[in-house]
Structure 1
């Protein structure tokens, strides 16, 4: 892709995305520019990724074809109003801020500016992110494919209507926390059975990773995969029965509902 990619903000998510772009050789390092208000962070990112950094957000948007806003939601309005008059002609804004709607972007950008709402999750930090991008008719096919190619460097991407973004936040954006809790609980159970904690975390995490990979790569329904593990009168079906008795599935469903409701409340 012969385009320039810019970042406003050099935090963990920005670094994960730029690192993945560089690793995938989507664009050369000289085609990446990033800004941040913290001098030490700019210096670290410049040295680590061999890219150009600046303290001037306007410099980024003047140069970049695609601008990724990797900033906290509470400073979006300030930054958008700072950069809106300097965005490169045909430049595209990618918003990854939680709770930032397309209507908010439209309100705070100049008419004719192209923008899209994107929601990645923290496993992007290890190249296994799950991102959603809002459907839009604002882009050409080439532009939308280039947006997807950026997002796919650090994981998988699904295109969904914007009204489904709150549900996506609940099932993907916030769900790493649920999974981490399950891994911790599994490890606690292993420790109870005499397995050292360090080994228990590795065993539990690998079991979760392998199980998720089976869902993605086999295409089988999760229930079918579960049934394949549950032998008649075996150990697994006893464990499954215990989980059902203690409301395992209903607890997860309710957590997703509560999270989606909270996301809707926070949106602006």
Structure 2
């Protein structure tokens, strides 16, 4: 929990709303302790109606009120947001940035000295409170700050702490990874439709199969290769399917996807 802390969420988009919903559901914060801002007034009306939190379009006033500022805006507009908030985001506030590819040093350079900054990379399953958030601590962050950041992001899933130099790779894997998995689910369902299954049934089979396999990998702690081998009988259907995937270079394609997204995350940090 983050008891007594006033939290502003700058940017009430999908991730900002997911964090608000998660904090409230987990009891990490009360509605009166959360203030959401956005440039779209209609979006704020929706957030207020759903969660009963404070809302407004004035980032500076909301940030000044807060103890913790969550910067949930796109990296392309973060420079502008930071410039606007420079006078109020000082060393007295904890700053949590979820902007992909945007390093701590670049944030610190646009703020007053002494800023306490945590770089965060949550992924979209946070909307279902099944996300994975990677956190990297800035050098001014205190033990209490670490506890607060963990409490906020654990409200929407699991948390891992990494060195900041690894955050671009985290972005390429778990940040962008849900899109890769959605594509795999869609492709599996299309395969089922090709083989005669109704679309609705094929999608349910594909999604639940991916969910169940991921749950097994997490809960058993076994290497995925060993879990794969358990399903694979000599001369059976599974090895025939796996052979087709290996012929199609599935492994290499996924590795290339992680590499490409990691490189793009690095580029965003310099644009």
Q: TM-score range by the shorter chain?
A: over 0.9
Superposed, 1:83-94 pairs within 5 Å as 83-87=85-89, 90-94=92-96
User: Cα RMSD between the aligned structures?
Assistant: 1.3
- Match of residue 195 from structure 1: 197
Report Cα offsets for 1:161-219 as digits up to 9, x if no partner: 11111111111111111111111111111011111011101110000001001111111
Over 3 Å counting, the alpha-carbon distance change for 1:57 and 1:120 in structure 2 is same
Q: 2:256 aligns with which of 233, 239, 254?
A: 254
CA distance in 2, matches of 1:233, 1:135: 50
Q: What secondary structure is seen at the aligned counterpart in 2 of 1:264?
A: helix
Gaps of 5+ in 1: none
> Does the 8 Å contact 2:189/2:202 carry over to 1?
yes
Contact 1:118–1:132, Cα closer than 8 Å, also in 2: yes
| Structure 2 portions without partners, runs of 5+ | none
User: Which residue number in structure 1 is paired with residue 242 of structure 2?
Assistant: 240
TM-score, normalised relative to structure 2: 0.95
Corresponding residue of 2:210: 208
Aligned residues: 268
Residue 12 (structure 1) aligns with = 14
- The answer on 1:40 being equivalent to 2:49 is no
Inter-partner Cα distance in structure 2 for 1:25 and 1:230: 44
Q: In structure 2, what is the equivalent of residue 147 of structure 1? A: 149
Question: Would you identify which runs of 4 or more consecutive aligned residues in structure 1 move more than 4 Å?
Answer: none
How far is 1:136 from its partner?
Answer: 3.6
CA contact (8 A) 1:63 1:88 kept: no
Q: TM-score, normalised by structure 1?
A: 0.96
Q: Distance in 1 between matches of 2:268 and 2:144?
A: 33
